[in-house]
Amino acid sequence: MKKAGWTVTGKPERKPKHFEVLARHDAGDWTELHVDFAGVIYKQKVADHEKWNVPT
């Protein structure tokens, strides 16, 4: 994810088919990334502040 310009914070949450990761691109908004086990980001959505306890 670093190669793609993402800065990750916290621990990834393992799900049955992927990991969910809190990250941000450059100085952008915090984003929840869904990453498969091969390391491919296949989904991005706005981070849920309650779920992730998003830093300010």
CB neighbours of 10 closer than 8 A, spacing ≥ 6? 22, 52
**Any idea which residue has 């049955």 for tokens?**
16
The tokens describing 17, both together, are: 């088919």
Alpha helix (H) residue ranges in 1-56: 49-52
Per-residue pLDDT at 27? 86
> Is residue 19 over pLDDT 70?
yes
> Is residue 55 over pLDDT 80?
no
CA distance 46 to 37: 21
Domain ranges of the chain: 6-48
The structure's pTM equals: 0.88
Q: Are 35 and 21 in contact (CB under 8 A)?
A: yes
**Any idea which residue has 């994810």 for tokens?**
1
